[in-house]
């Protein structure tokens, strides 16, 4: 009986070791993928090569066409200046198959700073930009590239709106505004 208990404990310990170290390996891989993608985007942005960002992006990012992205990217470059650096503060897998890596970061530019959400789509070993959200420090509004479909509202925007008419009117449902 004691031998069976020791064998079970050893098997459990081995499983936990694989689980913990396998999870660590995935996080390290995600960090490397995120850093490589963000560094590449930053280099292309600073070298006035917005078309390369577009060309390497996923089909979802290309929904509004290259002219739209080139105009918006140029507008960002003029308003923000050179992209000096960034600090990743969050990254997580999204979706049932984990094929999307959401990277949240603070980006530092010559003229401003911004919070960014970068959605990286991964398929068959390739990583591509799926969507980019940018919120300058002097605003609460997110700029979405590509834009969100009509009727969709970003969750941070909901906090600044009046309480939903579907919820009972009481102080617990009011959000400071």
Is residue 97 very low, low, confident or very high in pLDDT (cuts 50, 70, 90)? Answer: confident
- Residue 28 has a pLDDT of 65
Q: What CATH code is carried by the domain that includes residue 9?
A: 3.10.450.50
Range of the domain at 155: 2-173
What does DSSP say about strands 83-94 and 100-109: parallel, antiparallel, or unpaired? antiparallel
For residue range 2-48, what is the model confidence (pLDDT) as tens digits?
A: 555 544 444 444 443 433 444 455 566 888 999 999 999 999 999 99
Q: With the CA atoms of 14, 17, 18 and 20 taken in that order, what torsion angle do they form, in degrees rounded to the nearest 10?
A: 150
- Residue 2 has a pLDDT of 52
How far is Cα 58 from Cα 37, in angstroms, rounded to an integer? 13
- Residue 124 has a pLDDT of 83
Cα Dmax for the chain: 73
Residue 80 has pLDDT above 70, yes or no: yes
Beta bridge partners of 128: 121
More reliable by pLDDT, 10 or 141: 141
Work out how many domains the chain is built from and give that number.
1
**Mean of the per-residue pLDDT values for the chain?**
78
Name the DSSP letter for residue 62: G
């Amino acid at each position: 009986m004691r031998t069976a208990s020791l064998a079970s404990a050893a098997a459990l310990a081995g499983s936990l070791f694989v689980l913990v170290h396998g999870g660590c390996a995935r996080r390290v891989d995600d960090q490397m993928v995120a850093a490589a993608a963000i560094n590449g985007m930053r280099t292309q942005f600073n070298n006035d090569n917005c078309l390369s960002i577009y060309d390497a992006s996923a089909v979802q990012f290309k929904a509004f066409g290259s002219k739209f992205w080139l105009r918006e990217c140029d507008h960002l470059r003029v308003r923000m200046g050179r992209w000096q650096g960034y600090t990743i503060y969050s990254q997580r897998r999204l979706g049932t198959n984990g094929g999307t890596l959401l990277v949240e970061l603070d980006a530092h530019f010559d003229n401003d700073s911004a919070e960014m959400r970068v959605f990286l789509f991964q398929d068959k070993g390739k990583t591509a930009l799926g969507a980019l959200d940018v919120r300058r420090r002097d605003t609460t509004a997110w700029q979405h590239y590509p834009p969100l479909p009509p009727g969709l509202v970003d969750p941070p925007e909901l906090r600044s709106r009046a309480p939903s008419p579907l919820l009972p009117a009481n102080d617990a449902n009011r959000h400071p505004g």
